[in-house]
A and B are shown apart, each in its own frame.
Chain A
Amino acid sequence: MFNPRNPRFKNMKRMKPRIAVFKYSCCAGCEFQLIFFQKHLLETLKAVDVVYCKMLKSGGVEAGPFDVALIEGAITEEWQASQLKKIREASRYLIPIGSCAVCGGIPAIKNSTDELDVEKRVYADTAFLHSVTAAPIDHYVKVDGYVKGCPMGERDLDELVISLLLGKKPVFLEYCVCVECKLRGAICVLVAYGEPCMGPVTNAGCGALCPVNNRACYSCWGPMRDANAKALADQFLKMGLRKEDIFRKFTEFGQPTDEFKPGALT
């Protein structure tokens, strides 16, 4: 993970951290989220240097070097993959932000369809298109942690920025939504009301937004590490869900990830 003592960056001058934000295939909601956190952003902007961010300002050098590159969106075209590799070279830390970049997200829904069909369905002229299976960032390059969420969550983003300023490794949440759900004292919608809640297998960070509002979690944050998806899928079966419904629950945010495959295939 983070290695501030990496010799490659040893001679980089200690100044304001240089941040770049790159966007690939996604809705740009995360970048918007970044800008939307204005109360913190104003303070943050004084302490960090946003050197490349299309939504915030024009210009900037794509080639780096960057202290932190935040990558938004899934990789769906070849040029994106090769640019990403260059960014990796030029960045001290590279961190995917948001579910598309973290686990494929919405763009990865296309993965269960033939690539050419997908291209034809969207574009009239496919001559200049080289689309590939939608993949998360860590499929192509090594990453230094994940800011999860759809759009990315405030808690982990705050932790990232603060960590950068303090010079520590960010500690991202690595437990499931149920923890936050109970810490907020929300009545469990799965147990009390029989709603098929994905909270037990979903990474925390949202503050259990949905259960707190009496709705089942639909896993927009993506899978929690070491999730027992199969056990939850079996419970959904017992609760009367059909297999197709269960498949959809585990693929709503992209193709089934390693953690979710056993659930999707139930």
Chain B
Amino acid sequence: MKDAQGEGYLLARDDLFDWTDTLLRDFAVQGPVLKKKGQTVFERIDDPSSLQLDYCSTMLAPRNFIYPQRQEFLHIQRSSGQTRVVTPAPAARNILFAIHPCDMHAITVLDRIFSRDSWDFSYNKARHETITVVLNCAKACDQGFCSSMGTGPFLKIKDGYDVEITPVDRAYVMEFGSRRGRDLIRKAANLRRITGADLSQKKRVEKKAEASFTKFLDTKGLPELLARTLNHSVYKVTADTRCLNCTNCTMVCPTCYCYNTEDLTRFDLKQVERKRHWDSCQELNFARVHGGNFRSSREARLRQFVTHKLCTWVEQYGCVGCIGCGRCMTWCPTGIDLTEMAKEIQRDWSPAEKR
């Protein structure tokens, strides 16, 4: 719906705040905000000037606005067994504002998971009600390698998002991926239609952004390679010497979707809240059943993370599970880096294959 029809607008840099101000009237705008000690987090803004548009990946991806950490999804009357679905109700419609392209891709990956094989009510309801405004990246994040994963630094998908913003010289190119997005853009004053010149300027910014990457991952043949090197020593060595099984890697990963459920019975013993919360394959009991644990070793748990992201995901969903945001390695207390593990396996195997 964008380039093809040449639709899109140009908004002067200074007018962006006014536009955001307009949005604040009708929506809950969740944007990147700079906190003390230099951390950026996504939170609801009430003043456009608190936005920090030039930011590196936040610790938590904005996925929690659609798929929250904890969520009651069913309410049960214990005596009768009567159930009521608990509907996630955002107070006002959420706008995820200025999210990075990689995080937008991650949301579309979650879409496949929660709606392809079967329909997750809570996720899809929140997803449907959430408007996404993507801000293309003018330069690479510290640990990002999205250019290797085909998810950045500029948006690579054609739908699933609402607005795409690109910073160009003293202005923003505003494009849309949905009718909802177009209507949102049109709320801005002082818009003008983009021209070919604007688009070639956008291209130049993209080229420059792409040239700024320092971290790469060669994904060609990687899933197949990982599938036949399940017993590579890198898993055991890394797991034993460095992995804490702290789950941070998977908790910050924007495409991780695993959850656990629990029944919370209130003290009156009448009401039961069936809740779910993010879970992680790095957790000791994740694969425990009566009489055993299928991933009792730390090695097995670490391998599950790495191979799920870079290998088995492809067979499951037709795309890799890693969008190259660099969060897992940034927020791992011991700096474990799945690209380094993949590269070590590639190093060990490529000479033999060339022969």
Touch between A and B in complex, CB under 8 Å? Answer: yes
Report A-chain residues with C-beta under 8 Å of the C-beta of B39: 187, 192
Interface of B is mostly: loop
B49-70: CB near A (< 8 Å → 1, else 0) gives: 0000000000110001000011
Q: Chain B: which residue is nearest A184 at the CB level?
A: B69
The contact sample of 24 A-B pairs, CB cut-off 8 A, is: A166-B265, A175-B283, A175-B285, A178-B251, A179-B280, A182-B69, A182-B251, A182-B252, A183-B277, A185-B41, A188-B331, A190-B333, A192-B39, A193-B37, A200-B244, A200-B246, A200-B333, A225-B284, A226-B284, A230-B241, A231-B243, A231-B334, A232-B244, A232-B333
Report A-chain residues with C-beta under 8 Å of the C-beta of B298: 226, 228
The reply to whether the CB of B245 lies closer than 8 angstroms to some CB of chain A is yes
Partner of B247, one of A43, A179, A193: A179
B118 to chain A minimum Cβ distance, whole angstroms, is 25
Partner of B285, one of A162, A174, A192, A231: A174
The reply to whether the CB of A44 lies closer than 8 angstroms to some CB of chain B is yes
When chains A and B are docked, how far (Å) is the Cα of A197 from the Cα of B334? 12
Q: Are the CB atoms of A235 and B247 closer together than 8 Å?
A: no
The reply to whether the CB of B158 lies closer than 8 angstroms to some CB of chain A is no
The reply to whether the CB of A153 lies closer than 8 angstroms to some CB of chain B is no
Report A-chain residues with C-beta under 8 Å of the C-beta of B60: 182, 185
The reply to whether the CB of A201 lies closer than 8 angstroms to some CB of chain B is yes
Q: How many residues of B contact A (CB 8 A)?
A: 37
Q: Are the CB atoms of A182 and B269 closer together than 8 Å?
A: no
Q: Are the CB atoms of A235 and B285 closer together than 8 Å?
A: no
Q: Chain B: which residue is nearest A230 at the CB level?
A: B241
A221 to chain B minimum Cβ distance, whole angstroms, is 14
Report A-chain residues with C-beta under 8 Å of the C-beta of B41: 185, 187
Report A-chain residues with C-beta under 8 Å of the C-beta of B252: 182
Q: Which of B59, B285, B333 gathers most chain A CB within 10 Å?
A: B333
Q: How many residues of A contact B (CB 8 A)?
A: 38
Q: Are the CB atoms of B70 and A165 closer together than 8 Å?
A: no
B132 to chain A minimum Cβ distance, whole angstroms, is 20
Contacts A179-B251, A187-B35, A200-B333 given; does A228 touch B243 at CB 8 Å:
yes
Q: Are the CB atoms of A182 and B248 closer together than 8 Å?
A: yes
The reply to whether the CB of A98 lies closer than 8 angstroms to some CB of chain B is no
Q: Are the CB atoms of A228 and B245 closer together than 8 Å?
A: yes
Q: Are the CB atoms of B265 and A231 closer together than 8 Å?
A: no
The reply to whether the CB of A151 lies closer than 8 angstroms to some CB of chain B is no
Contacts A183-B277, A183-B278 given; does A228 touch B244 at CB 8 Å:
yes
Residues 203-232 of A at the B interface (beta carbon under 8 Å): 225-228, 230-232
Q: Are the CB atoms of A182 and B247 closer together than 8 Å?
A: yes
A213 to chain B minimum Cβ distance, whole angstroms, is 13
When chains A and B are docked, how far (Å) is the Cα of A165 from the Cα of B272? 14
Report B-chain residues with C-beta under 8 Å of the C-beta of A161: 267
B54 to chain A minimum Cβ distance, whole angstroms, is 18
Report B-chain residues with C-beta under 8 Å of the C-beta of A47: 269
Q: Chain B: which residue is nearest A191 at the CB level?
A: B331
When chains A and B are docked, how far (Å) is the Cα of A185 from the Cα of B248? 11
B231-255: CB near A (< 8 Å → 1, else 0) gives: 0000000001111111110011000
When chains A and B are docked, how far (Å) is the Cα of A185 from the Cα of B244? 19
The reply to whether the CB of A40 lies closer than 8 angstroms to some CB of chain B is yes
B274 to chain A minimum Cβ distance, whole angstroms, is 14
Partner of A188, one of B267, B284, B333: B333
Report A-chain residues with C-beta under 8 Å of the C-beta of B69: 182-185
The reply to whether the CB of A199 lies closer than 8 angstroms to some CB of chain B is yes
Report B-chain residues with C-beta under 8 Å of the C-beta of A234: 241-242, 334
When chains A and B are docked, how far (Å) is the Cα of A166 from the Cα of B283? 27
The reply to whether the CB of B14 lies closer than 8 angstroms to some CB of chain A is no
The reply to whether the CB of B312 lies closer than 8 angstroms to some CB of chain A is no
When chains A and B are docked, how far (Å) is the Cα of A182 from the Cα of B332? 12
The reply to whether the CB of B130 lies closer than 8 angstroms to some CB of chain A is no
Q: Are the CB atoms of B245 and A43 closer together than 8 Å?
A: no
